[in-house]
Amino acid sequence: MNYLAIDYWTSKIWLAVNVGEIALPLKVVPNKWVIEEIKKIIKERKIEAMVVWIPSHVDGKIGKQALIVAEFVEKLRKSIGKKIIIYWFDERFSTYDAMTSLEYIGYDKKNIWQVDDMAASIILQWFFDYKGEKSIF
């Protein structure tokens, strides 16, 4: 199955895809173009499912940003025009794990893009490893 993972933020959205069950960062898209870009990716890569990362608090409770992400996903779902499976996945601690992984290989700490790309891949990889067991919706 081909997956597109979405890490939604206010101004930019990080996207990741899979090759088999290996997650890879794809690109960063400005928020204002993301729906059209996602529709293009779905067609080109024959995407069958999306994994959407929901930001939650350390205690697992859902906050304001999670509601913003849910609104975006509803808008995206209506715009896509075809049925795609959508998995919600808790993204807590992904940035910490990304930084830890990158520090191991000596990344430039000024390059936050590396951290976000790695976090996008880590979350999709978690999804593959746990098959959605940690979904919160």
Domains of the chain: 3-94+107-130 (3.30.420.140)
> Which residues, including other chains, have CB under 8 Å from residue 108's CB and lie 6 or more apart?
114
Convert the pLDDT of each residue in 30-63 to its tens digit: 989 999 999 999 999 999 999 888 776 667 677 7
Convert the pLDDT of each residue in 118-133 to its tens digit: 677 777 777 787 764 4
- Determine the Cα–Cα distance for residues 118 and 95; give it in Å rounded to an integer: 8
Output the pLDDT for position 130.
72
Output the pLDDT for position 134.
40
Convert the pLDDT of each residue in 73-103 to its tens digit: 999 999 998 788 988 877 666 666 666 776 6
- 10 vs 69, more confident: 69
**Please, is 80 exposed, middle or buried when counting C-beta atoms within 10 Å of its C-beta (0-12, 13-18, 19+)?**
middle
